[in-house]
Structure 1
């Protein structure tokens, strides 16, 4: 009797599965293909839209203009690759919920291969058991709320050092009116690099030393190359050609990075901190990695040293550039909107005062400052495309049939300027996040605002990045008054790359606004 019942249930399950597959196959077969953008070049397709070559605009702006013509879902061709471009929050929600598993992998492009330790690095590794294990380790042991809180002193220390150095420079070099010219883009870049290096490997680089310059140069090269397609990515049959020697440059850069990371890891191994109990207090994330990697089954045959170095590099590259980019854009927007800057400083004076330095526990009371950060993330998301994806199976998205192997670009920059969601979408208006949109967050659950992407492959450092922008902006605005030379407007031109950094320096004039003993 039991056998008969089991057989019946088994037959029912098979029938239901067959019907599901049949319905899904019919649905896919009935779905039409999305429109393809016009203007494709022979062989190369739309590759001209993905560079600032013959066109004066950047890829996210070019593809945003195409969305105005062809709708929120259209395709382009990059050589032999078909790419779906999505520019609406509704389709983004569908992708990151209904089809999230199908889009968890990255395209296996040369930059990810050479600079991602042959796809071992968790930011670019294919979806599978290894990705799940490495993601869990990074999220729970390194980027959890508790771990980030334990490292608060590092952020405060580095911010304090930077502000103190600016104050000393003001004391030494201020002009007769009590003002000092400063280039803030470089200042913020060095601040964030030191914060991330301190957190990850316990290193700080101040001044013009050979080691500091070498590290800065390497990081700039990595960020630059990660945003570049090589010819073989879109025309595989030309893989034997290395046009411009780009792949060789990537490989050389990767070797330099590997040597530098190897030295830092060896230094930690010579002076280990043992992970023995809940009282374990690491000096930095490298201590955590070394203590846990040998105990973790990554379900992959990767070399342990490669895994260690790939985790460290992913944390450095993922945290340094994006935070710098967002702090620079936030300050630039404020300088072009002086009334907002003044209101932010008034909030700091009222909620924190000028007799103590703002700390992280104060941020929750600074509603206007948080609104400013949200508006900056909306207008100038650090990663306008959020990282490319690849469909691992056939899907129907927005009624369109998307074949397996199609690449996916979600144009976050365009999505977050949707006029049906945001009134005056190109205007800087933090007040929108105090009224109509006050409940919209940035952590991937409100798809109208996804600067860190969404779904299971959302940036694992989203919380850390938001906190760093909040605290950095609060400290700078509390410590100094800011102007531009001759009160000119800040140039808001963006640059090409995996992040949309400000293309030109951020030249400002500063003057202290706190009692001298606080510096």
Structure 2
């Protein structure tokens, strides 16, 4: 009976069981080396929620450390389809990864496009747009009892100010109905379509400004919009792989 108990099949089976038990014990045993190095993981996770590691900052000291001491490490945004299709393959300031190219764009944006001097020189833009808004709103309600959705009027006002500061022209007419251009449904497909439409629109703005520059139109620096400024200071950047027109279009959008 002892010989049957120690037969080769029994010995092999016992060996396998012991090895499995040992491995399970090693996995469950806490390790001092790895303790505190890995973030806690959820016991279960849905396909999206809890599937990716994330760090939530909830106190002022941690925020200060992230944006001062370790700002270069945390400066880059994760790559996404938005940066590829809407940001001209990460040529736009808002999508570009941290580095020399991003630093150049940041310097250009802060000192040439959004400086107090530049904003003050474009003061006439929002003053004239507000004046136009009030006049059109008066004409709109003058015809009779009508419904006025102020949020829509303010949205068009904001967009007109932005486009006029960028390219020197308005986008919406207040007294015309404007279709909702927001994409729904298949996000990536809509994103590509919108990117193509925007590329055509913004590209025409850039070409128009290039032609005006060749003809000597708008020589007054005070009347220059953002595209004029970028055309005067931006050159092709072989290191980033983007030409001048691509950089301008990406940052306009």
- TM-score of the two chains, using structure 1 as the length reference: 0.38
| Matching of residue 289 in structure 1 with residue 237 in structure 2 | no
Q: Does 1:123 align with 2:63?
A: no
Residue 198 (structure 1) aligns with? 164
> Which one has more relative contact order, counting CA pairs under 8 Å at least 6 apart?
1
Q: 1:247 aligns with which of 188, 212, 220?
A: 188
CA RMSD of aligned residues (A): 3.0
SS at match of 1:86: coil
1:306 paired to 2:240 = no
CA distance in 1, matches of 2:191, 2:152: 24
Q: Give me the whole-angstrom Cα distance separating, in 2, the residues matched to 1:119 and 1:259.
A: 18
Structure-to-structure mapping, 1:153-172, within 5 angstroms? 153-172=124-143
Q: What is the aligned partner in structure 1 of residue 106 from structure 2? A: 135
How many angstroms apart in 1 are the aligned matches of 2:70 and 2:164? 38
CA–CA distance in structure 1, aligned partners of residues 168 and 126 of structure 2: 12
Q: What is the rounded CA distance, in whole Å, between the counterparts of 1:207 and 1:96 in structure 2?
A: 42
Q: Is the 8 A contact 1:162 1:191 kept in 2?
A: yes
Cα separation, 2, equivalents of 1:298 and 1:285: 23
- The alpha-carbon deviation at position 104 of structure 1 amounts to 0.6
Correspondence 1:111 to 2:82: yes
Check conservation: 1:112, 1:119, Cα contact below 8 A: yes
Matched with 1:269 is 210
The 1:38–1:121 alpha-carbon spacing in structure 2 relative to 1, beyond 3 Å, is: farther
More strand by share: 1
Structure 2 gaps of 5+ residues are 1-33
Cα deviation for residue 144 of structure 1 reads 0.4
CA contact (8 A) 2:140 2:175 kept: no
3-state SS of the aligned residue for 2:193? helix
Q: Distance in 1 between matches of 2:156 and 2:97?
A: 32
**Aligned counterpart for 2:45 among listed residues 40, 49, 64:** 40
1:88-487 to 2 correspondence within 5 Å? Answer: 88-174=59-145, 181-204=147-170, 205-207=172-174, 213=178, 217=181, 220-221=182-183, 245-272=186-213, 280-294=221-235, 299-313=239-253
Aligned equivalents of 2:91 and 2:45: distance in 1?
A: 34
Deviations 1:330-386 (A, max 9, x none): xxxxxxxxxxxxxxxxxxxxxxxxxxxxxxxxxxxxxxxxxxxxxxxxxxxxxxxxx
* CA apart distance, 1:39: 5.7
- Residue 303 of structure 1: how far off its partner (Å): 2.0
Structure 1 residue 37, shift from structure 2 partner:
5.6
TM-score, normalization by structure 2: 0.75
Q: How many residues align?
A: 218
By how many angstroms is 1:248 displaced? 2.4
Cα offsets for 1:86-142 (capped at 9, x unmatched): 233332222111211110101001122211111111101100100001111111111
Task: Give the deviation of 1:182 after TM superposition.
Answer: 1.8
Post-superposition, which runs of at least 4 consecutive aligned residues in structure 1 deviate over 6 A?
A: none
Contact 2:136 2:174 in 1 (8 A): no
Cα distance in structure 1, aligned partners of 2:238 and 2:168: 26
In the TM superposition, residue 147 of structure 1 has moved relative to its aligned partner by 0.3
Call closer, same or farther: CA 1:89–1:184 in 2, change over 3 Å: farther
Structure 1 unpaired stretches of 5+: 1-28, 47-75, 175-179, 225-243, 314-519
Q: Distance in 2 between the 1:298 and 1:184 partners?
A: 46
Q: Report SS of the residue matched to 1:185.
A: helix
Q: 1:208 to 1:118 in 2, by over 3 A?
A: farther
Q: 1-side partners of 2:63 and 2:224: how far apart?
A: 39
Q: How far apart, in 2, do the equivalents of 1:173 and 1:188 lie?
A: 21
